[in-house]
Amino acid sequence: MPISHSSLLSSTPASIRSLWLSALAMLLALALSSAAFFAPTHFLPWLAGIELVLLVHGMLNQGKISGLVRYIVLQLLFTIVLYLAIHGGNKVSEGVLAVARILLAIVPGWWLTNTVSTEAIGAILGKMMPNKWAFVVVASINLLPYMANEVREIYQLQRLRGARIAPKQLLNPRNWGEFSYCVIFPLLIQLLKLARQTAVAAKARHFGYHAKRTLWPSQRSEHDN
């Protein structure tokens, strides 16, 4: 028998406290990510200081920062090349500022996924939105590491085939189309296949059959209890 949502989350005061802390962490991440785009420029150093604390905390919780660094470096390179091609060297600083805002928007989500369990995120989202939507969000979060590995494997295989998608080659906008054809399109195909497999697995487990959502406790919860 699956453990009901209410019995799993309301069994002990510690579970309730952990759920509230997880909810506060989600609100904090949402507020910081939103502020990264809407806050005035002179507030960004303060925001960066707060997120630096989150970054250190996430790394102490075994969070891997290498993927985040690679993404920001590539984003910075693409943005600078794009601004140079369109505006020349006059507005490069605006491109750097845009990338800085993207980084400040990503860090809270990275911190959240490394400090709050997906079970807690799913439980909280299940109280605020339909269960099927909450399932999609949590499944997407769980699949992020898998998709990162897929991107890495596709990229390496295409490099071995001779595709012009090395970092230095991507500085040339003429090679961006090849990057889309060799990496982005295969990744989209993999995403479609994975979405279908997830839907089949959920259907096989009768997801959505009961009006009241049920879920299994995580291994960590079983050991703690």
> Residues 73, 143: one domain?
no
In a domain, 205, yes or no: yes
Tokens of 17: 């406290």
Domain final position from 93, 116, 139: 116
In a domain, 44, yes or no: yes
| pLDDT at 119 (0 to 100) | 74
In a domain, 54, yes or no: yes
- Domain hosting residue 136, numbered range: 131-225
Cα angle 106-95-27, degrees, rounded to a multiple of 5? 20
In a domain, 123, yes or no: no
One pLDDT digit (tens) per residue for the chain, 225 residues? 333 344 444 455 666 777 788 888 888 988 998 998 888 888 989 999 999 999 998 888 877 888 788 878 878 887 887 777 777 767 778 888 888 888 888 888 888 888 887 777 777 777 777 777 777 777 776 776 677 778 878 888 888 888 888 877 877 878 888 888 888 888 888 888 887 887 787 778 777 666 665 554 554 444 444
| pLDDT at 49 (0 to 100) | 93
Q: Indicate the pTM of the whole model.
A: 0.62
> Residues 156, 222: one domain?
yes
Angstrom distance (rounded) from CA 137 to CA 117:
13
| pLDDT at 12 (0 to 100) | 59
| pLDDT at 3 (0 to 100) | 35
> Residues 191, 83: one domain?
no
> Residues 34, 142: one domain?
no
Tokens of 169: 């080659």
Domain final position from 116, 144, 161: 116
Long-range pairs, 24-28, Cβ under 8 A, ≥24: 25/112, 25/115, 25/116, 26/112, 26/116, 26/121, 26/124, 28/108
| pLDDT at 221 (0 to 100) | 45
> Residues 18, 64: one domain?
yes
Cα angle 62-68-87, degrees, rounded to a multiple of 5? 165
| pLDDT at 31 (0 to 100) | 92
| pLDDT at 9 (0 to 100) | 45
